[in-house]
Amino acid sequence: MKRDRHGKAKILNHEEIQLLFTHGLKTTRDRTIFATALFTAARINEVVTLLSADIYDTRGQVRSHLTIRKANTKGKLATRSIPIIENLQNLLIQYYPQSGEVYLFPGRYGQGHIASDSAAKALRKACANVGLQGVSTHSFRRTALTQMSDNQIPLRVIAEVSGHRSLEELQTYLEVRPAQLVGAVSSLAILFPVAEAVKSDFLRTANSKV
């Protein structure tokens, strides 16, 4: 778990996400920033540099897909287009009056875009308000990717969303949970001999000793 900005960012469970979005993040802007990170598995810099035109059409309607431009990705590798699910769409509709003319999340006095550090500061304050520890801006990306993996989404598909160039790099993001280890080992129970076969073997052994 991340502590003092060291270690891996915490992966959030459903209850923690509910707590953070209902009681921690106080503004529509902050909820929209981190909902975008969660529902697109995007890095925080990719979120804060989003352009309004890549989210809303000329009528102010939310587009079907969100565009993360190549220039704003880590390593500037490729542009990504990610479907906007209904949960995020509703927040973006609500947020529209606050969006900037150029950047979706404008900076102070409408200049440029909000800085990643400013978004991180807002998140730390929100987490402190609800008593969450180990959470960073990267938690939303790790949570989203792990959730997709838990739901048996193929790694190749997840990589298309995350923008990872290799499956090996992607796998470092995915957390193996204790319950998954129990499930993995429990799946071996099917290998145990069926009851009748065990009974027959027992009877043959017993009879041979008579």
Predicted TM-score (pTM) of this structure? 0.77
Residue 128 burial by CB count (10 A; 0-12/13-18/19+): exposed, middle or buried? exposed
Total structural domains within the chain = 1
pLDDT, residue 109, reads 79
Inform me whether the pLDDT recorded for 157 exceeds 90: no
Residue at 3 is within a domain? no
Residue at 45 is within a domain? yes
Our measurement of the distance from residue 38's CA atom to the centroid of its chain's CA atoms, rounded to an integer in Å, reads 4
Residue at 94 is within a domain? yes
Residue at 52 is within a domain? yes
Inform me whether the pLDDT recorded for 124 exceeds 60: yes
CATH code of the domain covering residue 134:
1.10.443.10
Summarised one tens digit per residue, pLDDT across range 158-171 is 888 887 776 666 76
Residue at 67 is within a domain? yes
Give one word for 176, left, alpha or beta, with left for phi > 0 and alpha for psi -120 to 50.
beta
Residue at 182 is within a domain? no
Tokens 């499956």 locate to 167
Residue at 157 is within a domain? no
Summarised one tens digit per residue, pLDDT across range 139-150 is 999 998 888 888
Residue at 29 is within a domain? yes
**Phi, psi dihedral angles at 185 (to 5 degrees):** -70, -40
Identify the domain containing residue 92 by its residue range: 14-145
